[in-house]
Amino acid sequence: MNFTLHVWRQAGPQAQGKMVTYHVKDISPVSSFFEMLDVLNAQLVESGEEAIAYESDCLEGICGCCSLMINGKAHGPDRGTTTCQLHMRRFKDGDHITVEPWRAKAFPIIRDLVVDRSAFDRIMQAGGFVSVNTGGAPDGNAIPISKEEADTAMDAAQCIGCGACVASCKNASAMLFVAAKVSQFAHLVQGYSERRRRVLNMVEAMDREGFGNCTNQHECEAACPKEISVRFIAELNREYLTANLTSI
């Protein structure tokens, strides 16, 4: 398969960026999107040009690194799919494909398609953990928690922190990410005792990082490769309100 790629190139955080057009030939339909980009990079290096910088790690859809806007969609055209799980057979031979980085003030560009997502790390450091000493992993059946609660916690825990929700939101809101992380711990017995302090600290950290506000348009849920539901945002709002009322 042959493709024409329009890729955002930017030498550094302060440099002027621009779209650059490249052609790649003889790409196997079973190649992943990153294998196709690797072919392009090999081509660029061979011709003495600077390789395109992009981020990937696990290539199994769980690390959250592969932050690419593909044809204007976070992680590309498929629902519930990370960029590393996207294959070239999803496109038509001869297609033009636009590849851009996440664009959000809180995710500044480092180079080309790589953005700095450490804002998420700082939100997690503000409360996204359980500080109770829980010891080793207990037997699943010994955890005093209902199946429904455990399922809800696991649904929320599927968030891989990729930032697609931010990149696809017109306000660059991080509400779906924060909601998933707050809910993940609020539904666990171990996380329950710190839930009030956690939600207040994490929302404060989110605001400090400069993310926008949620206006309930659900673009985040549509773009999320882990299909995290916006109902967690409603839960985050409830948790936040309750924490505020009970901390007065």
Tell whether residue 176 is a contact of ligand SF4 (CB under 6 A).
Answer: yes
- Strands, E, within the chain: which ranges? 3-9, 18-24, 69-70, 73-74, 96-100, 109-111, 114-115
Binding segment (CB under 6 A) for ligand SF4, from list 7-15, 47-55, 161-169, 197-205: 161-169
What is the DSSP code (8-state) at residue 91? S
With CB under 6 A as the contact rule, the residue among 180, 230, 236, 243 that binds ligand SF4 is 180
Cβ proximity to ligand SF4, 84 vs 228, nearer residue:
228
Binding segment (CB under 6 A) for ligand SF4, from list 17-25, 65-73, 153-161, 239-247: 153-161
Q: How far is the CB of 160 from ligand SF4 (least distance, A)?
A: 5
Q: Which long-range contacts (CB under 8 A, 24 or more apart) does 203-207 make?
A: 203/178, 203/236, 203/240, 204/126, 205/122, 205/123, 205/125, 205/126, 205/127, 206/123, 206/174, 206/175, 206/178
Binding segment (CB under 6 A) for ligand SF4, from list 6-14, 27-35, 103-111, 160-168: 160-168
Q: How far is the CB of 22 from ligand SF4 (least distance, A)?
A: 27
Asked if 126 contacts 204 with a C-beta cutoff of 8 angstroms, the reply is: yes
For the chain, give the number of residues: 248
Binding mask 218-237 for ligand SF4 (x = CB under 6 A): ------xxx-x---------
Q: How far is CA 44 from CA 29, 39, 133, in A?
A: 21, 9, 51
Q: How far is the CB of 117 from ligand SF4 (least distance, A)?
A: 9
Q: How far is the CB of 79 from ligand SF4 (least distance, A)?
A: 12
User: What is the C-alpha R_g of the chain?
Assistant: 20
Residues in touch with ligand SF4 (CB under 6 A): 159-165, 176-177, 180, 224-226, 228
